Structure 1
């Protein structure tokens, strides 16, 4: 088994985990955490008034302190953060990708941003109602829908950022396109002129591609609209499904069992997809949509709030089981692993027990999270639990994370508590079995010692 893993699985996992494009996507989205967190918090605070039980008193309190327009600040923060999420992603992904090639990334991210804007429609559909007249709807130049900047266009932004950066980096290496200025010119100016022609050529190529796409392929649709039609919508439907959730959770924990960081390896694939679904939920919540069927299920902080309780493998349940059935045997490990485990950091448990490369823990480490994923998905899809509508730090303690991720709904905390109980029940028999195995080993060692002494 280990030979098979070393020969076939490890090389593929390492290659996937070290792919420069996936790393650029992951690192850029993680680097935007301050933007997404404050935007999510603003949406959460603006919408706590709709939470049953605490909503009305909270709303009255905010009005008494800040007045009837108390949601203005939250709305402004949302507009400046989540509404322009794709733009930040384009800058970040291009910068990270260019730096992976040894470039400083500054010119690359500007060229990528310009390339993205080149592919956005210049005419928007607007409705104007003249005073005393009927509403008129039509195209108006210079009006751009914010949907082309928000998470709705995130996939397009990722594609354009990668494509524009790859073209720019390759053209920048062509010596004939480099403009060399005299030695007395400031370095910043000389560097900009050295990449002048590659930058211009990149934007021209992207613009020409967009024109050809509209003329001959997409029947006049711009890139984002065309991608949404042929790829993003079907893919999003597949992502927000129970089979996909089980697949992702199974792969993450399968990689961990052979010593590879599952979330990091798959983060370049899962992060943009779940982030897009999560931002769609945030937008619906910000707009006050009450129909829960319109929300995505496998979105945003779904896994952190309901599955990764204590970290990958839901090891907070394992810690609880060891307190019940193996406290004396694992006294030092519990002392080291419990405090970080409360905050979803479980490397002391993964490598101290150890779980990694230990076949005894293979079943509970994978089975527990899968059962929790199924429970969470079905609970939200059946309307028993409010969907995830807020972004939370991955270090948010269990149960509290479920409460905050669902916008303060107690159902989120209850689901997290139920999942924690599931994890405990799954791990407990294996903790007991491990204790019996350790006891047999100790007894065998003592018998061997006694025999030698005789």
Structure 2
């Protein structure tokens, strides 16, 4: 087993590079930007169809009223994501463009949306067909975004634009600068649509669906779901951020299947699509990647070692809400050969059981998107509209996962008990985990619970390094990055006493993958600034959503999860004359816990 893990680790650079691919990132960021639309639409699905579980059915007129907001939010999701994906890709491309010759992301956003309408919408009397503007058109949305930004890049980079005299106001000049690339991208997509109708007999969106239908069908079968979710857990186990690779590749299928299931249920037919976003969040990753919901309870109630009991108690609440880093890194489970089999097997068995419930027992599959922080068993029941079979499924999955994990937990507990008796501890595994993952959040949770991380229980904090591909909060599908082992500029925390005081208004932006971990450092800085009455204001943000506010700041600090973006980020900050610093795991933990050290670090970067 250790040889297999080592073999995969050798190939990490390739998978890490793949996870940072700008096209995969554009899809990921496009979905993140569109998440409010998805969650908004969920409200109306729950209102419309959850009462069915109690034998109450709305009159058709009321059902139509409830479904109208859904139809004009989720029903045009592809149109919206065409724009957000194009915007994200434009931002990535602009990093490599000259500062004085950038692509206008608002123009690519609009051009991509127009392009999708050309590819996916058919004229009707009195309107247009919306069939492929929703989840069925997601792949076409990505195609429109990629083609649009690619054409804009060629035109802008080679100055194939209409250039106006210097006397013309910049906003007017920008309009004319965008005319040629906008026209070229829209007409290219229109030509593609005409060719599709001529040679295939349908529009591009429908043609894409027909071509990929066998793949969609295979992905929804036993072999497909095994490969997809097996890879999801396997990559994560060996320190590669599998969700960044797997999720963008299957996102179009999972969200389209949710809509397909809803349409089938509305028609009174069997909703039989298993590969959905809810499957990923609540069945496969129930309690986080590896289906670890039951593990903290087992550590707490079934283990005899003091260390495992303490880790279990500290991990129960976060894992219940899908944030399972404390148990993953505290035990540790990842990179631990003892847990390799259950970590990979439990998610696969879970999704097999779901498929049996759907295909054999006739349970309707999931029809509702819910926030990923919804506890797994509750998410299963709600996403399946309170079917009684869904309740049975949730309870059965808990029981099965206990059976899968039990022998491995007992073996590991015996190992830790022996370490406690002998006084010798396996620091090698802990150091390996710390070298591959950002364990800062897990360390903070465990330390708060009273575990002596630097003593004989779990020495993690002082050895914390980062590896590419790390998730910022939950490994449950948040689609977020880790950083490389990296040192900050002026990393040493014993800073010069001659550091200048902050006397003028200073704004610091701390960026992480999702705006969570960055809040730890921002809060520490704001607290010490208030105590010392300094004109310093720190703000937390997420990488990818920072570009519009960047000019307002004097210094940007990259949290460990996004430190691998330092080179790309430096191109942006250099253009604006903003200072940039990156941090690594152990250093970042100390900065968040020591306000004076955090302030000295900021002074050093500013000077």
TM-score (norm 1): 0.85
CA contact (8 A) 2:286 2:376 kept: yes
Displacement after TM superposition at 1:104 (Å)? 4.6
Identify the match of residue 373 of structure 1 among 351, 369, 374.
351
Displacement after TM superposition at 1:178 (Å)? 2.8
Aligned to 2:257: 277
**Does residue 294 of structure 2 align to residue 302 of structure 1?**
no
SS at match of 1:301: helix
Give, in whole Å, the separation in 2 of the partners of 1:359 and 1:154: 39
CA contact (8 A) 1:108 1:169 kept: no
Give, in whole Å, the separation in 2 of the partners of 1:28 and 1:339: 30
The structure showing larger relative contact order (alpha-carbon pairs under 8 Å, at least 6 residues apart) is 1
The 3 A distance-change label for structure 1 pair 245 and 3 is: closer
The 3 A distance-change label for structure 1 pair 6 and 402 is: closer
Give, in whole Å, the separation in 2 of the partners of 1:398 and 1:118: 40
Give, in whole Å, the separation in 1 of the partners of 2:389 and 2:167: 67
The 3 A distance-change label for structure 1 pair 5 and 48 is: closer
**Does residue 194 of structure 2 align to residue 211 of structure 1?**
yes
Q: Mapping of 1:328-367 within 5 angstroms?
A: 328-367=306-345
Which structure carries more helix by proportion?
1
Displacement after TM superposition at 1:419 (Å)? 0.7
Displacement after TM superposition at 1:257 (Å)? 1.1
Identify the match of residue 66 of structure 2 among 74, 80, 88.
74
Cα RMSD (Å) of the superposition? 2.2
The 3 A distance-change label for structure 1 pair 186 and 413 is: farther
Aligned to 1:93: 85
Aligned to 1:151: 135
The 3 A distance-change label for structure 1 pair 201 and 241 is: same
Aligned to 2:504: none
Identify the match of residue 250 of structure 1 among 218, 226, 230.
230
Aligned to 2:475: none
SS at match of 2:374: coil
CA contact (8 A) 1:274 1:300 kept: yes
Give, in whole Å, the separation in 2 of the partners of 1:70 and 1:428: 49
Identify the match of residue 7 of structure 1 among 10, 33, 56.
10
Displacement after TM superposition at 1:268 (Å)? 0.8
Aligned to 2:458: none
Displacement after TM superposition at 1:424 (Å)? 1.4
Displacement after TM superposition at 1:262 (Å)? 2.0
Aligned to 1:432: 410
The superposition leaves residues 410-448 of structure 1 with CA deviations (integer Å, 9 ceiling, x where unpaired) of: 2212212211111112112112111211222333448xx
Give, in whole Å, the separation in 2 of the partners of 1:310 and 1:242: 22
Aligned to 1:226: 207
Q: Mapping of 1:116-135 within 5 angstroms?
A: 116-120=116-120, 122-124=122-124
Give, in whole Å, the separation in 1 of the partners of 2:43 and 2:9: 44
The superposition leaves residues 369-418 of structure 1 with CA deviations (integer Å, 9 ceiling, x where unpaired) of: 11111111111111353311111111111221111010121221221221
**Does residue 298 of structure 2 align to residue 321 of structure 1?**
yes
Aligned to 1:26: 28
Aligned to 2:539: none
Aligned to 2:561: none
Displacement after TM superposition at 1:101 (Å)? 0.8
**Does residue 289 of structure 2 align to residue 312 of structure 1?**
yes
CA contact (8 A) 1:89 1:154 kept: yes
Aligned to 1:129: none
TM-score (norm 2): 0.64
**Does residue 150 of structure 2 align to residue 172 of structure 1?**
no
Give, in whole Å, the separation in 1 of the partners of 2:154 and 2:262: 38
Displacement after TM superposition at 1:184 (Å)? 4.0
**Does residue 18 of structure 2 align to residue 16 of structure 1?**
yes
Give, in whole Å, the separation in 2 of the partners of 1:365 and 1:119: 42
SS at match of 1:316: coil
Give, in whole Å, the separation in 1 of the partners of 2:40 and 2:140: 24
CA contact (8 A) 2:368 2:383 kept: yes
CA contact (8 A) 1:307 1:419 kept: no
> Higher mean Cα deviation, 70-79 or 83-92?
70-79
**Does residue 395 of structure 2 align to residue 411 of structure 1?**
no
Displacement after TM superposition at 1:72 (Å)? 4.5
Aligned to 2:538: none
The 3 A distance-change label for structure 1 pair 121 and 324 is: closer
Is there any run of 5+ residues in structure 1 with no aligned partner, and where? 125-139, 447-454
Query: How many residues of Structure 1 are paired with residues of Structure 2 in the alignment?
Result: 412
The superposition leaves residues 101-159 of structure 1 with CA deviations (integer Å, 9 ceiling, x where unpaired) of: 124521111111122222346444xxxxxxxxxxxxxxx5x643221212122222222
The 3 A distance-change label for structure 1 pair 156 and 364 is: same
> Higher mean Cα deviation, 308-317 or 377-386?
377-386
SS at match of 1:225: helix
Give, in whole Å, the separation in 1 of the partners of 2:167 and 2:362: 70
